[in-house]
Amino acid sequence: MRHPGIQFDYPSWVTRMLDWERRYESDEDKMRLAIAVARRNVLEDTGGPFGAAIFEQADGRLVSVGMNVVVPQNNCILHGEIVAFMMAQARLGSYRLAGPDMPAHELATSCDPCAMCLGATLWSGVRRVICGAQREDAEQMQFDEGPVFPESYAYLERRGIEFKKGVCRKEAADVLDLYVRRNGIVYNG
Q: Does 5 bind its own copies (CB under 8 A)?
A: yes
**What's the closest the beta carbon of residue 69 comes to its own copies, in angstroms?**
10
Q: Partners of 109 in the beta sheet? A: 52, 131
Binding mask 94-133 for its own copies (x = CB under 8 A): xxx-----------------xxxxxxx-xxxx--------
Q: Does 7 bind its own copies (CB under 8 A)?
A: yes
Taking contact as CB under 8 A, which single stretch among the options 3-11, 29-37, 127-135, 175-183 is the one that binds its own copies?
A: 3-11
How far CA 172 is from CA of 93, 106, 133, in Å, comes to 31, 18, 5
Q: Does 144 bind its own copies (CB under 8 A)?
A: yes
Sheet holding 128-133, edge to edge: 62-67, 51-56, 105-111, 128-133, 162-164
- Collect all residues with Cβ–Cβ distance below 8 Å to 15 and sequence separation of at least 6: none
Q: Which residue number, 104 or 115, has a Cβ lying nearer to its own copies?
A: 115
> Is residue 77 packed enough to be buried (19+ CB in 10 Å), middle (13-18) or exposed (0-12)?
middle
Neighbouring CB atoms inside 10 A of 147's CB total 11
Torsion region of 179: left, alpha or beta (phi above 0 gives left; psi -120 to 50 gives alpha)? alpha
Q: Does 90 bind its own copies (CB under 8 A)?
A: yes
Applying the rule CB under 8 A, the residues between 30 and 59 that interact with its own copies are none
Q: Which residue number, 96 or 164, has a Cβ lying nearer to its own copies?
A: 96
Q: Does 19 bind its own copies (CB under 8 A)?
A: no
> Is residue 178 packed enough to be buried (19+ CB in 10 Å), middle (13-18) or exposed (0-12)?
middle
Taking contact as CB under 8 A, which single stretch among the options 35-43, 52-60, 145-153, 162-170 is the one that binds its own copies?
A: 145-153
* Chain positions contacting its own copies, by CB under 8 A: 1-10, 20, 70-71, 73-77, 82, 85-87, 89-96, 114-120, 122-125, 144, 146-147, 149, 151-152, 155-156, 187-188
